[in-house]
Structure 1
Amino acid sequence: MQGIADYEFIRPLGAGNHGQFYLARRPARLPVDVEFVAVKVLSAESTDAAFRRAVRELTAFGAVTSPYLVSPFDAGQQDGTFYYSMEYLPDGSLASPAVPLSPAAALRAVADAARALADLHAAGIVHRDVKPGNVLLHPGGGRLSDLGLAQVFTEGVTITGMGPLDAVEYVDPAILMGGRPVPAADVWSLGVLLHRVVSGTGVYGNLPAGDGLLALRQVLAAPPHVSGALPEPVADVVRACLGPAGERPSAAAVAEQIGSLG
C-alpha cells in the first residue's frame, strides 16, 4: 500500500488489531509540527455508522489531556476503509523495542501505561486493548496507543471483536464471555502486561502461536497463574489486578504501586 488519502506511506510499522500501521509523511494540512506520523489503516469495513462511532471515540480519546497517551491527529475513510493518524514514536513498543530495555525502563513504561489508563478512566473512557504492542516507548517512559476501535467496527461481537486471538491472554475473561468493557477490565490487562514484562511469560503459560482458537480454549479452560519467579512485590500487584472485578485497584493505584517497585 503506497498511501491513503493525502498520506504518503514510507514503510510499514507492523500490524495492529484489525489493521496495519504505516510510517507516513505529515500532510501539509495537519497543524502539527512534526515531519512524520503513524497511520493505522483498519481492515474492517467502514460503514457510515461505524465511521461516525469511530470518529466520536477518537475525538473523546484526543480530548483527554495526558502526557501518557499517544496523540491522535486525524481520521477519515477512503473507499470504505477507515484510517487514522497519530503521533509517531521511533523507539518501538514493549512488544518490539528499538533497543533492549532495562528492567527499570520496562517498569517505567508499564507505570506510564497505568497512568494513561487512569486519565482515560477519569474521562469515562475504557481503552479495551492494553497489551505490549500498544505501549509505545520514548526516552522518558511509555505512552499508551491504539484505542480499541475493533469493537466499534464489530459492534455486538464479543470475542472476534477483541482483535487477533493470539492476544487473548490480555483480555479479561469476563469480556470474552460477553461482559461490557469497564475500567476493571483494563486493570486486568494491566496486570497481565506487568506479569509479561517482568517475567517474560504469560499468566496462561505458553499459548499456541498461530492458532488463536486453541489459545482461546486454553485461556477459558484454566485460571491465570502468577509465576513464582516474580519478585513478591510485583506478584502482589499482579494478583490484585487479576482479582474479582469489584476488588481490583484503580489504574491510578496500580501506577503508584508500580512506580514504587523501581
Structure 2
Amino acid sequence: MAPLRPTDPSRIAGYRMLGRLGAGGMGVVLLGRSAGGALAAVKIIHPSYAQDAAFRERFRREVRLARQVRSRYAVPVVDADTEALAPWLATEFVPGPPIGEAVDRTGPLPEHSVLRLGRMLAEALEAVHTAGMVHRDVKPGNVLLAPDGPRLIDFGIARALDDTVLTATDMVVGSPGFLAPEQARGEQPGPAGDVFSLGCVLAYAATGERPFGAGPVEAVLYRTVHDTPRLDALPGPLRPVVAHCLAKDAARRPTAAELRALLTRDTPAEGWLPAPIDRLIAERSARMLALPDIEATRVEPAGPGATTAVTAPPARPHWTRRRTLALVAGAAALTAGSTTAFWLLGVDRPT
C-alpha cells in the first residue's frame, strides 16, 4: 500500500482513507476504514468519466446488479454513491494475494487445491450470471486467495467501464491469454466466455503457464482463436475438465453450474492451500494489523480569540519482540475471520 497523495481525499462519506491500493486512467482505489473499524477498498471514478451521461447510467445499473450477487466467493459491493461529482463505490477487503502473485512466489498449486479452486470459482460465476451479469475479465489477478476459499473481484463493474471506454475505441475487452475466442474477435461475450477464462486460470494455477502461451498480444489472440491449448502438463483429472471449458465453440462449454458439478470432490475448504501460500497470506494480514491509528479529534475554535483544542494522539506502541510475534500470530485470525475481500477495478497496484 502506498501513502495517500495530496490530491487524494482524506474522507469519503463515512470512510477515513488510509492509503493507496492502486491507480489507473479511470480512477484510484484507496483503502478506507469505516466508523465501525471495518476496512474497505474504495474506488473513486475520475470526474471526467462521470460527466458522460451514458457512462453514469451504466455505472448505476452495474452497481445495482452487483449488489444482487450472493456468493461467499464473490466480493460484494458494500457502499456506493453513483450520483457524486466523482462517483465511488466500496467493497469489502481482505489482504489475500492474487493467484498470479502466489504462483510467481511459491510455484503452481497442487492438484487438490486447483480442483477446489475451480469448484469455488464456478460457484462465484454462477452467482454472477444468475444476477444477470457477465464478468468478462476472469484472470489470475482478479482472483484473491484466502484460507476459507478464493474471492472473485471486479465482477460486473468492469462491464460498465469497458462499455464506455474500451468498446468505444474498438479495443478487445479482457486480458489476452485468459479471454475467450469470441472476445478475441471483438464480439460481445456471454457467460460462456467467463467459463473459458476460468479454464485458462485453472490451467495457469496448476502449471504456471498460460494455455495459449505468451508473447505479443496479436500472437496470443491468434492462438486463442485458432490453436489447440497446451494442456499436456495438467494432472489427469483436471485435463478433460479444462479442455471442456476451452472449447472454441461457446455452445459446447459447460455452464458455471455444470462446471461446479464436474469439479465436485470431497476436499474440505479448510486447509485447501499449501503451506507457503498460507504463510504469504499471514504476512499480508500482519501488515494490515499495523495500519495507522485513528487520527486525533480536532475541535474548531468557538469564536474570535479562541484557540483550537486538539486531543493528544494515542501513543505509538513500543514494538518489542513479543509484540511483533503476537502481531504475526494474529494475522491468521484476521484473515480467517474477515468477511472482507481485496478489490481492484481496472487499475494497477502500486510498486
| Shared fold, TM over 0.5 | yes
**Of the two, which has the highest radius of gyration?**
2
Are the counterparts in 2 of residues 45 and 80 from structure 1 also a CA contact under 8 Å? Answer: no
1:169 partner SS = coil
Counterparts of residues 1-262 of structure 1 (less than 5 Å): 1=5, 2-3=8-9, 5-6=12-13, 7-14=15-22, 19-26=27-34, 28=35, 35-42=38-45, 45-46=49-50, 47-76=52-81, 81-97=86-102, 103=110, 104-147=112-155, 148-149=158-159, 150-154=161-165, 156-157=167-168, 160=171, 162=173, 167-207=175-215, 214-215=216-217, 217-222=218-223, 223-243=227-247, 244-260=249-265
C-alpha separation in 1, matches of 2:190 and 2:164: 18
C-alpha separation in 1, matches of 2:147 and 2:132: 29
C-alpha separation in 2, matches of 1:161 and 1:20: 22
- What is the TM-score with the length of structure 2 in the denominator? 0.62
Q: Which amino acid aligns with 1:50?
A: F
Give the Å deviation of 1:123: 2.7
> Percent identity of the aligned residues?
32
Q: Deviations over 1:213-232 (max 9, x none)?
A: x31x1123222522311112
2:117 partner SS = helix
Q: Which amino acid aligns with 2:49?
A: E
Q: Which amino acid aligns with 1:256?
A: A
Identify if the C-alpha distance between structure 1 residues 178 and 162 changes in structure 2 by more than 3 Å, giving closer, same or farther.
closer
Q: Please state which structure has a larger fraction of its residues in strand.
A: 1
Question: Gapped runs of 5+ residues in structure 1?
Answer: 208-213
Identify if the C-alpha distance between structure 1 residues 152 and 230 changes in structure 2 by more than 3 Å, giving closer, same or farther.
same
Are the counterparts in 2 of residues 45 and 82 from structure 1 also a CA contact under 8 Å? Answer: no
- For the aligned residues, what is the CA RMSD? 3.0
Q: Which amino acid aligns with 2:99?
A: L
Q: Which amino acid aligns with 2:124?
A: A
C-alpha separation in 2, matches of 1:19 and 1:168: 22
Give the Å deviation of 1:173: 2.1
1:22 partner SS = strand
- What is the TM-score with the length of structure 1 in the denominator? 0.81
Are the counterparts in 1 of residues 69 and 76 from structure 2 also a CA contact under 8 Å? Answer: no
Give the Å deviation of 1:97: 4.4
Are the counterparts in 2 of residues 11 and 23 from structure 1 also a CA contact under 8 Å? Answer: yes
Give the Å deviation of 1:107: 4.1
C-alpha separation in 2, matches of 1:128 and 1:11: 28
Are the counterparts in 1 of residues 109 and 206 from structure 2 also a CA contact under 8 Å? Answer: no
**Greater Cα offset, 93-102 or 184-193:** 93-102
Q: Deviations over 1:222-251 (max 9, x none)?
A: 225223111122111111111111110011
